[in-house]
Structure 1
Amino acid sequence: MSHAVEKKMFHSFLFLCFWHLVDAVMIKSVMEGESVTLQINIRRQKNILDIYYMNSIQWSWFRPGESQNVRIIEHDVKTGDIRYYYDEIFRNRLQIDSQTGSLTIRNIRTTDSGLYQMSSRFSVESFNVTVYAHLPTPVITRYSTCSLSSGSLQNCSLLCSVLNVSHVTLSWYKGNSLLSSISVSDLSISLSLPLEVEYQEKNTYSCKVNNPISDQSTHLNITEHCQPCPDSVHCCGFTEAVIRLVLSGVVGVATVIMVVYDIRFRRAEKKRRTQSQSVVE
């Protein structure tokens, strides 16, 4: 072997040794059901070292909250053989690029989140993968009757809700301005956020649920969600409420007067009949 070839191999060997010391973690975010490729390039130096020193490429997976990894796929660089492990989880969903060593996960699930690590003789590369579920559409409901605010304005109490969500933020917006919000991290729970609006106002409101890569919104239709209750005093304007109270009082007084008059009339009629019978006898 010539001195030039030995020198080149030595320099390449040093490069790979220093490369092994670098272990940066790449961040990947993906929606459930999509495919994600963990892109590496194990064959940066296409020379004889690929044969002598790069024996195999192995991918491992650390589940969230676990310190032990599980081997999921291994590629023998020399023979081209590919071995799959943990197939009950990743059945037919893993694909490794024999030229670059990159790993593709198809039809990814939320349970596939975690740290994926590629290791070879002189290299370690890591990818932190977070898989987000598809977001539900927020539902707006009216959770109490209307109440009177200051003056003659009428308020309507609303509730925006989403079910079984995690890693999301639920927010109320007035136009493009944020009014209020609530967040949840890794627990799958239901979220609700209240809002009180004036019945006759013309502002635009919307409720939005979002995670780092997607969002869903529902716009508030005040006329639809805040219909007045015509038979309830608490759902009327102040002036109309007073008028109804006065009319109710007048009707009540009139009813009492009529009942008293009827009783007195019956008593007087009964007394007159009794006196007439006494005169005849």
Structure 2
Amino acid sequence: MFCYTLGLFFTFFIPMGVSGVFGANTDEVKSLSVTEGDSVTLNTDVTEVQSFDQILWMFGHRETRIAEMYRQDFDMFDSNETFGDRLKMDSQTGSLTITDIRNEHSGLYKLNIISSRRANSYKKFSVTVYALPVPVIINNYSNSSSNSSSSASRCSVLCSVVNVSAVSLSWFKGNSVLSSISVSNLSISLSLPLEVEYQDKNTYSCVANDTFTTHTTHLDIQQLCQTDKDLYSPFDGVIPSLIYAVLGMKAVTLLTVFIMSNFNSE
């Protein structure tokens, strides 16, 4: 009788105790950051999914179902909308991989592991996607060497990208690299200066690239590198015109006064 009771104890209580295979239930949120175009995997921390386990993945604060695995069958609920064909599930662990991730895939992901033999378990992931911006080129007046004798013939420009991660920024002259800078940190800004001649006829471009994406901005020397005499003012030609108009009105007034005085004298 004792052995039978002990057997029941192990049958009904031990499986509940091994729910740690799935990880204890917690409100802790694991944060992940990824560059747009990369792939990210949300791990279940399960060694092997059993046939009686149901793996359920949900997205957003509304907890919309996006993927499910039960008895080795897969169901991608959102395959034709937000994620398209980007969702992949590992048949052994139930981990979810998002390929070619986009900015709209940023948000909260929730994992539910439902079992008829073990305690249910869940995990939360907060995913932030950083997009690679197009580099911007501006005239770098603050870096102009005004005291230099060559400053009158040279122009300083600055190429920048903001809020980037694992990105390289480079200046090209034609197909040749002039200078380059890279960063691996998250959410940082990069800037790279360049000096060119006003009359330079070469082709310059600033290129930002990460593992999957490349953005190029071409330098327009004529637009950004104008000399003082090339700068156009909306008031150009206005002052001389005003002077002529005032002189004309004054002449008309004097002529009118002269005519009136002669007429009255008669």
2:57 and 2:110 in contact (8 A); partners too: yes
**Counterpart of 1:71?**
65
**Counterpart of 1:105?**
98
Structure-1 separation of matches of 2:102 and 2:127: 11
**Counterpart of 1:84?**
76
TM-score normalized by structure 1?
0.49
2:156 and 2:195 in contact (8 A); partners too: no
Query: Aligned-pair distance for 1:99?
Result: 1.2
Query: Aligned-pair distance for 1:94?
Result: 0.6
**Residue 221 of structure 1, aligned match among 172, 187, 195:** 195
**Counterpart of 2:42?**
38
Structure-1 separation of matches of 2:188 and 2:45: 30
Structure 2 unaligned residues grouped into runs of 5+: 115-119, 166-179, 199-220, 231-266
**Counterpart of 2:59?**
61
| Runs of at least 4 residues off by over 3 Å | 1-6, 17-20, 146-149, 154-163, 206-211, 213-217, 222-232
Structure 1 unaligned residues grouped into runs of 5+: 170-205, 233-281
Q: Which amino acid aligns with 2:98?
A: I
**Counterpart of 2:125?**
127
2:97 matches 1:96 = no
Structure-2 separation of matches of 1:33 and 1:230: 44
What are the Cα deviations for residues 207-234 of structure 1, in whole angstroms up to 9, with x where unaligned?
Answer: 99997167643224387799895879xx
Q: Give the number of equivalent residue pairs.
A: 181
Q: Name the CA shift for 1:210/1:143 in 2 (closer, same or farther; >3 Å).
A: farther
Mapping 1:115-264, distance limit 5 Å: 115-121=108-114, 122-142=120-140, 160=158, 167=163, 212=186, 216-221=190-195
Query: Aligned-pair distance for 1:104?
Result: 0.3
Q: Which amino acid aligns with 1:105?
A: I
Q: Name the CA shift for 1:230/1:81 in 2 (closer, same or farther; >3 Å).
A: closer
> Identical aligned pairs, as a percentage?
31
Q: Name the CA shift for 1:7/1:222 in 2 (closer, same or farther; >3 Å).
A: same
What are the Cα deviations for residues 222-269 of structure 1, in whole angstroms up to 9, with x where unaligned?
Answer: 87799895879xxxxxxxxxxxxxxxxxxxxxxxxxxxxxxxxxxxxx
TM-score normalized by structure 2?
0.51
Which of 1 and 2 has greater Rg?
1
**Residue 107 of structure 2, aligned match among 111, 114, 130:** 114
**Residue 12 of structure 1, aligned match among 7, 10, 15:** 15
What are the Cα deviations for residues 79-113 of structure 1, in whole angstroms up to 9, with x where unaligned?
Answer: 21111112212121111112111000011111111
